[in-house]
Structures are given as C-alpha cells and as structure tokens.
Structure 1
Amino acid sequence: MTFGAIAFGSVFLVVGLVLAGVSVSFLTDAERTNGTVVALEWRDDDTGTSRRSRSNDRPTAYPVVEYTSADGTARTFRSSTGSNPPSYDRGDRVEVLYRADSPDDARIDGFASLWLLPLIFGGIGLLFAGVGTGIAVAGRRRRP
C-alpha cells in the first residue's frame, strides 16, 4: 500500500510538473494583447457521472473572447476554463495570450487558465507521495 501511494503520488507529481512546463513554455512564447468577452457559453459538464452523485448540477460558463492578433486579424476563442458563477461578464476586457505562429492557440491571462491544473495535479502528487514516504520511513524506524 505504501509503494502504491508513492507511485500514485509520483505519477501525479510528474503530470503536474509537465503541465507547469507547458504553461511556462506558453508564457515564454506568447504574444499579449487585449480582448473582450463577447459571450458566455454555458455547458452542462456532465462527464458521465450520475446526476445524483454530483454535488453541483449547475452549468458552467466558459467565456468566449474576441481579440485582434498582431497581423490585424480578428479572432475568437472559447476559454478552456469555466466556472459558476462566471469569472467574467459579457463586455469585460481581458488580457489575451496567444502564440504568434499559431494565433488560434489563445488563453486568457489568468491564474486558473495557466496554473490551476498544474497545481491540482502537483498538490495531489505531493500529498500522496509525502504520506506514502512518511509511512515508509516511520515503518523502517520501528524495526530494530
């Protein structure tokens, strides 16, 4: 059981570090511009869980953002990060990050869209690996 907790935690920690690396890489290459939230796309994010087992059956609002890339082209994207209540309202000005070589790869410059997944995976990984390691060390100390 101890080895399983350490292995599970290590996998999650590695995934968290990879996701953090992807965010850092994106930030390094990203162009910045201003955008406007033009709509909120409401979705029921039921991913196969039964409605009875879900504690929150409310739909999630994903901001749809319009911005102009450096080449002068107006572009629109839907954020991959949604919330309820909505983090943004229609008409809100937001800072947009996008790759110059792939302007359709855009994100809102915000904590959730850049760092939430790395922190969740990394935090779960640290917790499980830390608890497993602590149990293993305590078990070894008990032996004469």
Structure 2
Amino acid sequence: MGGVIGLMAAVQQVGWLVAGLFFWFIACVMILSHVHDRRTKTTYTGQIAALRVRGDAAKGKAVYYPIVSYTNDVGVVVEAETRHGSSGLSGKLPGRVVRVMPDVHEPRVATIRDGSGIVLTLVLWGMGALPIAIGVLQYPVTPYTIFIFVIFGAWVAWRIARMIRPRHEWQSREEFRKRKAAELLAKRAQCPRINRDEALAQLKTMDDLALRFLPLSVLVAFVFMGVAGWVAYDTGTILHNRAYAEGRVVALDRPSGSDAYYPVIEYRTHDDEWVRFTDKAGSNAPSVSVGQGVDVIYDARNPDRAMIEAGVSAVWIVVLASGLVGLAVLVAAIRTVLGVAGHRRRGYVSI
C-alpha cells in the first residue's frame, strides 16, 4: 500500500513540476523571439488603421486584431495585419500611434511593439514558479519521482523526434516564414474589418457588459482574499504559540464526495497528553502513508489545533496564491471602473 501511495504522490509531484516548466518554456521562447526580432527587424512609427474582429462582440467573446499602416524606407505607405490580438479594445482603437515592426519577408504582416510581451513573460514566470514551488515543497523527491520524470522526458523527446522530418523535406527559414505569413493573411481576411466608429460602438457594449459583471468580480476578489487572510491568521496563531512533537499517521480520511485524502495524526504533547487531529492539508495522492512518523507543530495553548510541520510551506503557498488571485481580480475590477468612468466622462470621443 505504501508503494502505491508513494507512486501516486510522485505522479502528482511530477504533474506540478511539468506544469511549471511548461510556463517557463513558453516564457523563454517569448524572450528569445523578442531578442531575435530586435536584432533582425526594423521598427517604424505608424498608426492603427482599423480592426479585425473574430467572435461575437455582443456576448463579450470577440478578439480584436489591429490593422496598422506605416511608411517604409522608400516612402511607400504599407497596411499590415498584426499577429496578436486580445479581447480588450484598450490601446487598440483606430487612429492610435504605435511602433510597428513588420515581418522581414512579408511587409503586410507586422507586430506592434508596446511592451505587453514583457509583461506577459513576467506573468508566465510567476505562473510557472507557483506549481514548481508546490511540487518541490509539498512532496519529498523520491525514486518514484525521478523514474516518472525520466519516463516523461523520454516520451517528450520521442514525440519531438517524430515531429522532425527528414533533411530533404525541410523548408528553409525564409520559405517557412513566407508560408506562415500567407496563412495569417488568409485567416485575417476571413475576419470582418471595422473602423473607429464601429469600434467605439463595440467599446460601449463591452463597458456595459463589464459593469454588469463588476459586483461578481468584486465578490470573487474578496472571497479569495478572505480565504488567504483566514488561513494566514489560523496558521500564524499556531506558529505564534507553537510547540513541537513527534506524531504518527494512524489513518487517511477521505470525506464523502471528495477525492482528497487528509492524514489523521496522533501525537503526545509535552504534558504527556495524547491528541488526535486531522490535518487540514489534503491531496488527491496522499503525501504520507499510514504508520509513517511525522513532525507535528501544535498550539501549546490548544493542542487540538495542530498541523504537520512539512505542510507549513504548502499552507503559505496556498495563502500566497489565493491572495494574489484575489488581488489581481480586485485590481482588474478597479481598472474596469476607472476605465469605464473615463470613457463616459469623455463621451467616447477623445479616446
């Protein structure tokens, strides 16, 4: 039974590590791509001429892709489709002056340099650090973990090898970029084009929709921040009056309707009193097995309030993650209020 539990814990740990490494991989690719573009492409000053829309704006499910115009080195005005879009219209209304970086092989495809890639890279680094921290701190590294990680790495290498075609079938980098640019132009041509007046009308619709969901956003923010505050207070109280003891796992509690296992610990206090408690940190794959010895931290004033010492780091990760999510949602809600108020104050004219 202990081997099965150890294997399940290792699978869950590898899952956390792989998730974090995936985010870090995407961030590294974005950094390398940014460095390559800065070295190989020329930046021009241009403006947003129009927008392409994919999806239903009335339902808040539209994605907007700017169409930019710029003057190249020989004085010719070029209109180019952009690679990236988003669901917001902030900073993308036609008429806005932007820095344009056209493709080397296809001037009708360009990228807007606005610093959003750097922000997204930092977000991805943070998103990757959290699951990696959970994987490293919540479970000890065991031979099971190493074995599963090696097997998964071998599978990824095999898949990559299958994707690589024979040498004679390879395309040159120029051919590849031209083909991808042609595909992007074909996709953008399928999306309707809107001008500034149409974009402003859709912005009004989006503002009304955002205000409708604002109370729910604020509620979600305070729920997450409240959970973070309560867990931090509860854990901090235990740590403030902490005492240490050696305990033993006597059972694994699995509440009805839950997939998580919660260790039931029994330990002896310094006053020679036996106490049994259920740890608050549960997991789908148990991190401990019945009969295993564990170090316990308990409240000396109230021995019934206790936790496994190894789980303290996981608790603070939960506090940090919940607090950051709540703070992010709250900041987004505040920005929504300020943005809509600014749009309405200016009458949707000088945006």
TM-score by length of 1: 0.72
Tell me which moved more, 12-21 or 123-132: 12-21
1:3–1:42 CA distance, 2 compared to 1 (3 A): closer
Q: Which has the higher strand share?
A: 1
User: Contact between 1:7 and 1:129, CA under 8 Å: does it hold in 2?
Assistant: no
State the partner residue of 1:89.
289
User: Contact between 2:238 and 2:305, CA under 8 Å: does it hold in 1?
Assistant: no
1:126 aligns with 2:338: no
Distance 1:7 1:39 in 2: 37
Tell me which moved more, 134-143 or 26-35: 134-143
**Higher radius of gyration, 1 or 2:** 2
User: What's the offset of the Cα at 1:11?
Assistant: 5.0
Distance 1:11 1:84 in 2: 24
Segments of structure 1 that go 5 or more residues without pairing to the other structure are 47-58
Distance 1:120 1:16 in 2: 8
State the partner residue of 2:221.
9
1:44 aligns with 2:256: yes
State the partner residue of 2:141.
none
User: What's the offset of the Cα at 1:30?
Assistant: 1.5
1:85–1:14 CA distance, 2 compared to 1 (3 A): closer
Output aligned runs, 1:54-133, within 5 Å: 59-109=259-309, 110-111=311-312, 114-115=315-316, 118-119=319-320, 121-133=322-334
How much identity, in percent, do the aligned residues show? 29
Aligned-residue Cα RMSD (Å) equals 2.6
User: What's the offset of the Cα at 1:111?
Assistant: 3.7
Which residue, 219, 233, 254 being the options, matches 1:21?
Answer: 233
1:10–1:75 CA distance, 2 compared to 1 (3 A): closer
Helix, strand or coil: the match of 2:243? strand
User: What's the offset of the Cα at 1:71?
Assistant: 0.7
1:32 aligns with 2:252: no
User: What's the offset of the Cα at 1:69?
Assistant: 0.4
User: Contact between 1:81 and 1:112, CA under 8 Å: does it hold in 2?
Assistant: no
Helix, strand or coil: the match of 2:254? strand
User: What's the offset of the Cα at 1:122?
Assistant: 2.1
1:42–1:93 CA distance, 2 compared to 1 (3 A): same
User: Contact between 1:20 and 1:118, CA under 8 Å: does it hold in 2?
Assistant: yes
User: Contact between 2:238 and 2:306, CA under 8 Å: does it hold in 1?
Assistant: no
User: Contact between 2:281 and 2:315, CA under 8 Å: does it hold in 1?
Assistant: no
Segments of structure 2 that go 5 or more residues without pairing to the other structure are 1-210, 347-351
Tell me which moved more, 83-92 or 10-19: 10-19
Q: Which has the higher helix share?
A: 2
Larger relative contact order (C-alpha < 8 A, sep ≥ 6)?
A: 1
1:118–1:71 CA distance, 2 compared to 1 (3 A): same
Amino acid corresponding to residue 28 of structure 1 in structure 2: H
Helix, strand or coil: the match of 1:72? coil
Distance 1:60 1:11 in 2: 22
Cα deviations by residue, 1:76-120 (Å, 9 ceiling, x for unpaired)? 222233222111112322221111222122211214773365345
Cα deviations by residue, 1:31-83 (Å, 9 ceiling, x for unpaired)? 1122111222233335xxxxxxxxxxxx4322111211001122222223322
1:117–1:100 CA distance, 2 compared to 1 (3 A): same
1:61–1:10 CA distance, 2 compared to 1 (3 A): closer
1:10–1:78 CA distance, 2 compared to 1 (3 A): closer
